[in-house]
């Protein structure tokens, strides 16, 4: 059966309905789509208010989790139900360690199940060791139980941009991104297909994020411009041939122009990168906390239309959305 047909069929059936698992393609599920901090309330019920967390599931049921934002609590509850009391072995890829990308970890219920193993992959940006940085969020002052004391066993793996590695049947390549204190995206190949997670990142022209506080854009040196160009080129090269790209599109263009130094992109900037890399489908992600459901509806419609003129299908992520990843574009 042609892959395109299978994919359409899955989309029509709604393969994400609970308890229904199809085993033809890798699929990704969005557990948190919001940036910065969780946003409860009437304005976020449809797109969701939890922060960054995406689950990728291979055809055979292997899982990798990308980012450990507040969406991870709900994912943990689901995985615990699936495992029915059996200890699991989880792999968590972190883009970076800002609060909105790690805050869900202490609320991931398998952490409290003896025998659970959790491997955390992250960029080493500071002199601090990863276990101290991640463990630091459960210090006595912040959380009742320290990471060292939980029943699950944690190990920490340092990732380096461009140095690929394997998790089960997934092949993973970290990609350097432009964000305060560093961030990585991930290209994830599996089941003859691939998707990429590109969040959080600023575009690659106006600001180069380093390891200090920016109160506004700083003048760029020739070296800075070279570094930005190289980062952009490597990103486009890594994305080439990827079916679906999940991209940090926190800002609308007018918001970006006011906060170019916050480390986030617009859908327009994502579209330019995706066009160059020949991407079939772009998924808007890491929505600003101030973007209400009504605004998100407009953003979704506007960029669906704009993407169509460029030959790119643009979807807007919402909590609970599952996408099968098409194989034919690789």
Partner 1 sequence: MKLRFWGVRGSFAMPGREFLRYGGNTTSIEIVTNVGQRLLVDLGTGATEYAKHLMGSEFGKGQGLLPILLSHTHLDHIQGLPFFTPFFIKGNEIQIMGANPSSGLSLESTLQNQLAPHYSPLNGLENLAAGVTIESFTPGVTITLPGYEVVTAAVPHGNMWTTAFRVIADDKVITIITDVEYPRPDEPLAVAIDLARDADLLVHDAMHADHDYELRRGWGHSPARAGVSLAERAGAKKLALFHHSPDATDEMIDELVERTASRTSVQVFAAAEGSYLDV
How many helices, marked H, and strands, marked E, lie in the chain?
7, 14
Minimum CB distance to partner 1 smaller for 117 or for 261: 261
Whole-number Cα distances in Å, 267 to 28, 29, 245, 246, 251: 20, 20, 12, 11, 8
**Cβ burial, residue 299 (10 Å; 0-12/13-18/19+):** buried
Pairing between β-strand 281-285 and β-strand 313-316 as defined by DSSP bridges: parallel
Rounded to whole angstroms, the Cα distance separating 101 from 65 reads 12
Q: Which of 268, 234, 262, 274 is nearest to 249 (CA)?
A: 268
**Cβ burial, residue 39 (10 Å; 0-12/13-18/19+):** buried
Minimum CB distance to partner 1 smaller for 97 or for 239: 97
* CB 58, min distance to partner 1, A: 29
Looking at 59-67, 140-148, 165-173, 275-283, which segment touches partner 1 (CB under 8 A)? Answer: 140-148
* CB 297, min distance to partner 1, A: 17
Could you say which of 107, 161, 171, 206 contacts partner 1 (CB under 8 A)?
Answer: 107
Could you say which of 18, 141, 148, 223 contacts partner 1 (CB under 8 A)?
Answer: 141
> By CB under 8 A, is residue 160 in contact with partner 1?
no
> By CB under 8 A, is residue 140 in contact with partner 1?
yes
> By CB under 8 A, is residue 84 in contact with partner 1?
no
Q: Residues 268-297 vs partner 1: string with x where CB under 8 A?
A: ---------------------x--------
Q: Which of 287, 257, 256 is nearest to 100 (CA)?
A: 287
Could you say which of 156, 251, 256, 262 contacts partner 1 (CB under 8 A)?
Answer: 262
> By CB under 8 A, is residue 5 in contact with partner 1?
no
Minimum CB distance to partner 1 smaller for 45 or for 305: 45
Give bridge partners of residue 56 from the DSSP assignment.
28, 64
Three-state SS at 285: strand
The answer to whether residues 85 and 189 touch, using CB atoms and an 8 Å cutoff, is: no
Could you say which of 68, 92, 97, 147 contacts partner 1 (CB under 8 A)?
Answer: 97
Could you say which of 39, 66, 279, 312 contacts partner 1 (CB under 8 A)?
Answer: 39
Footprint of partner 1 (CB under 8 A): 36-42, 44-45, 48-50, 70, 73, 96-99, 102-103, 107, 125-126, 128, 133, 136-137, 139-144, 180-181, 211-215, 262-263, 289, 319
């Amino acid at each position: 059966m042609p892959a395109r047909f299978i994919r359409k069929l899955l989309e029509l059936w709604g393969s994400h309905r609970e308890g229904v698992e199809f085993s033809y393609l890798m699929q990704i599920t969005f557990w948190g789509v919001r940036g910065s901090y969780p946003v409860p309330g009437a304005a976020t019920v449809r797109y969701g208010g939890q922060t960054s967390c995406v689950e990728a599931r291979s055809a055979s049921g292997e899982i990798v989790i990308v980012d450990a934002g507040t969406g991870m609590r709900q994912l943990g509850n689901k995985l615990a139900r699936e495992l029915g009391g059996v200890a699991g072995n989880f792999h968590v890829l972190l883009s970076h360690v800002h609060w909105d990308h790690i805050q869900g970890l202490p609320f991931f219920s398998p952490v409290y199940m003896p025998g659970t193993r959790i491997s955390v992959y992250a960029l080493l940006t500071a002199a601090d060791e990863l276990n101290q940085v991640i463990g630091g969020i459960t210090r006595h002052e912040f959380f009742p139980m320290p990471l060292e004391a939980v029943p699950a066993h944690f190990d920490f793996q340092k990732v380096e941009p461009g140095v690929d590695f394997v998790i089960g049947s997934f092949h993973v390549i970290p990609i350097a991104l432009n964000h305060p204190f560093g961030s990585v995206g991930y290209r994830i190949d599996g089941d003859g297909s691939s998707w990429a997670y590109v969040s959080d990142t600023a575009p690659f022209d106006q600001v180069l994020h380093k390891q200090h506080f920016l109160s506004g854009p700083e003048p760029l040196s020739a070296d800075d411009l070279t570094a930005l160009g190289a980062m952009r080129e490597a990103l486009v090269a890594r994305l080439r041939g990827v079916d679906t790209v999940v991209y940090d599109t926190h800002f609308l263009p007018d918001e970006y122009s006011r906060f170019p130094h916050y480390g986030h992109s617009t859908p327009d900037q994502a579209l330019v990168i995706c066009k160059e890399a020949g991407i079939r489908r772009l998924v808007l992600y890491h929505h600003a906390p101030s973007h209400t459901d009504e605004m998100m509806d407009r953003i979704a419609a506007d960029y669906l239309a704009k993407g169509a003129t460029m030959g790119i299908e643009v979807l807007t992520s919402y909590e609970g959305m599952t996408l099968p990843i098409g194989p034919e574009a690789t």
